[in-house]
Structure 1
Amino acid sequence: MNDDDNYALFKDLYDAYNSTDPSYFDNETQLLCVPQAVNKFGARLIPVFYYTISLLSYLGNGLVLFIIYKFENLRTVTNIFLLNLVLSNLLFASSLPFLATYHLFEWIFGVALCKIVSSAYFIGFYSSILFLTLMTLDRYLAVVHAVAATKTRKKAHAITASVAVWCISIVASVKELVFKNVGKSPFNGLTCEESGYSKSTMERWRLVTYYQQFLLFFLLPLTVVMYCYISITIRILSTRMKEKCHTIKLIFVIIFTFFACWTPYNIVIFLRALLVTSKEEVLCSDWESLDYALYVTRNIAYLYCCISPVFYTFVGKKFQSHFRRLMAKNIPCLKRHMNTSSQSTRSTSAYEY
């Protein structure tokens, strides 16, 4: 076999190769970059992290769901948004055990589940971001425009907005249904990756995903969250609230946590988009550095996505009161140590300050 034949065989093997992150092969100059070290890093880190996030999500979101059902009015605007946020996070968490198993071994669940799990993953991820944004906007209306909000904060409006969020998330995730297929890799066995279309088509849609994630599911929500909470803070400072300092601290924690968890991941996404569109030669080491960064920052963002309902509700005094009542009812020995006052057991929001 001559050198040309050896090169052709070598090229065919790597053309067939699918990394755990399908966006790794982003241009011709990176065709022979093999992320073996990155894949090994991901195989050690991701399964444990995904199983942990999934468990925390089921426990935390399940607790929030139970307390809303037990103590709150499910038909109020804020609780409609909170309920949808919980459901979106449970949908997202339901995909993680499949992906953890995939990183440990290979894709053993078939073509249908490949498409369904990938879609559920992104639908839950995208919708949770948008529902967090809606909850922030609802809180802004209730505090800053309390009088006008009595006309705009209606159950029908909340249901319409929730349906719109689910529709946007499904449309943004339809690429997964179209492009994801089960294939055979000489290195990784059965894979659930994007395939079946030309490289240029896949690259264009990958760019759409990157910029969609950065602009629609990060920059826009971040702008809304910052504006709303700054306005709420200004409003609270102008009042005579007895616990305004406590409330402002909670607002600061919410803004800081949102920014700290989401910004690094989206910066990495943006840098990957720049590399894809770069006309200069991109070194394999550049892709490897971004892949390591993606693994770490993505897991931080996903963790926040899963625990956000617990985070948003536990800062509220009414939710804390509901939780203490629940604990006291099921653990009698704790009753004397807890304030189980029945005041304000029904409210318009389970996550008021």
Structure 2
Amino acid sequence: MSDTGVNNSGGVVYFCDQMFDFETISGAIFILIFILSLIGNILLLCVIFIGNNLKNVTNLFILNLAFSDLVFTVTLPFWAVYHLHHWVFGNFACKLMTAAYIVGLYSSVLLLTAMTVDRFITVVLHNWQINPTRRQRCAGGTCAAAWVISIAASVSDAVKVKVETEWNNLFKCEDPSVGSDVNLGYYLQVSLLFFLPFAIIVFCYAAILKTVLQTSNRRRLRTVVAVLCIVTAFFICWGPYNILLVVMSLYEPVGCYAKERLFNAYSICRILAFSHCCMNPLLYMLSQRLRRLLLQLFHCENGRRKNREKSNGQNTSVVQNVAFTAQNSAVMLELPSK
């Protein structure tokens, strides 16, 4: 991708040389992530529904997280085409995909935070006498609130973005507004919906690990470790990207080499962040129960296939026997009488 920025060092204005083409690589990787995420999250939903244990609070959170990942996944083909070519889908799709992107991101953060707090209450505050029905209702209300908050957060970004024409007559889908008020709103949103949940999760897991290490309940330890891996993977993927966005809003690189390094770092962090949606199904398989349900799903399909093949084989044999009998009968009828 050509860098259209200029360097004004010493009063001389010149264009930067050709940069490494991360746009094409990003677009191709987004398509791969889309395929993997779609397959993985649909399989995960099938496993959860086959288990028929939606009354389990952890499963309820995982179900909502899978839907959140799918909402984010739907946007990937549009961003892939955008990076491979330019924005060809119009202004409405620009706003809709931006909103879906924000909903998928922030709903994941809030749901992971809620799941961590639930683990905190279950493990650390285990002396509380919590009614299972009440706990399930609270989890359902929390999931609904996470969706409402993330949708509300997406509205402002969806309203701001629009399709504009670049200098080379290509279209881009971006937020054209600039200024300190815009940056303040962005800092507030990222702080409340990313860094604050991160602080809550760190606090909860510090207390959870301290409590679990003092006990010998291996089953509880496995559950805590599985949820910890899911949360850690999210912040490893999305943390560098959000931090870099804040840095880019505060720092203006001087010179083509600095611009290229910052752009390359941004592209790598964005690929890492977007890949999170296809990592979740693999992390969920850390649960022995989910692995068992997945195996049951494939065994069920294999059993049905074998039954169909066996049934078809039996039907074929019957047809062949009938045909052979009919043929023999016809031959006997054609024999000349003595």
Aligned partner of 1:11 in structure 2 is none
Aligned partner of 1:174 in structure 2 is 155
User: Structure 1: any 5+ residue segments left out of the alignment?
Assistant: 1-17, 26-31, 336-353
Aligned partner of 1:330 in structure 2 is 301
Alignment partner for residue 208 of structure 1, among 178, 185, 188? 185
Q: Residues of 2 paired with 1:210 and 1:35: CA distance?
A: 30
* Correspondence list, 1:157-306, <5 A: 157-187=138-168, 189-195=170-176, 199-200=178-179, 204-210=181-187, 212-213=189-190, 215-242=191-218, 250=226, 253-254=229-230, 256-275=232-251, 282-283=254-255, 285-306=257-278
- Taking a change above 3 Å as real, the CA distance of residues 33 and 179 of structure 1, as seen in their structure-2 partners, is farther
Alignment partner for residue 99 of structure 1, among 57, 71, 79? 79
Query: Which digits, 9 at most, give the CA deviation of each residue in 1:115-168, with x for residues without a partner?
Result: 111111111111112112212222222222234262485233223222221222
TM-score (norm 2): 0.75
Q: Residues of 2 paired with 1:253 and 1:91: CA distance?
A: 22
Q: Residues of 2 paired with 1:69 and 1:37: CA distance?
A: 51
Identical amino acids, percent of aligned pairs: 33
Q: Residues of 2 paired with 1:76 and 1:106: CA distance?
A: 45
The alignment status of 1:317 with 2:295, answered yes or no, reads: no
Which residue identity is paired with 1:57?
S
Query: Which digits, 9 at most, give the CA deviation of each residue in 1:249-296, with x for residues without a partner?
Result: 6576456534433332233123123226xxxx8555444322211111
| Count of aligned residue pairs for this structure pair | 298
The alignment status of 1:121 with 2:101, answered yes or no, reads: yes
CA contact (8 A) 2:112 2:231 kept: no
CA contact (8 A) 2:34 2:74 kept: yes
Alignment partner for residue 41 of structure 1, among 21, 31, 41? 21
Q: Residues of 2 paired with 1:154 and 1:250: CA distance?
A: 21
Aligned-residue offset at 1:208:
2.6
TM-score (norm 1): 0.73
The alignment status of 1:87 with 2:67, answered yes or no, reads: yes
CA contact (8 A) 1:122 1:169 kept: yes
Which residue identity is paired with 1:158?
A
Q: Give the root-mean-square deviation of aligned CA atoms.
A: 3.4
The alignment status of 1:62 with 2:42, answered yes or no, reads: yes
Aligned partner of 1:350 in structure 2 is none
* Correspondence list, 1:64-79, <5 A: 64-79=44-59
Q: State the structure with more CA Rg.
A: 2
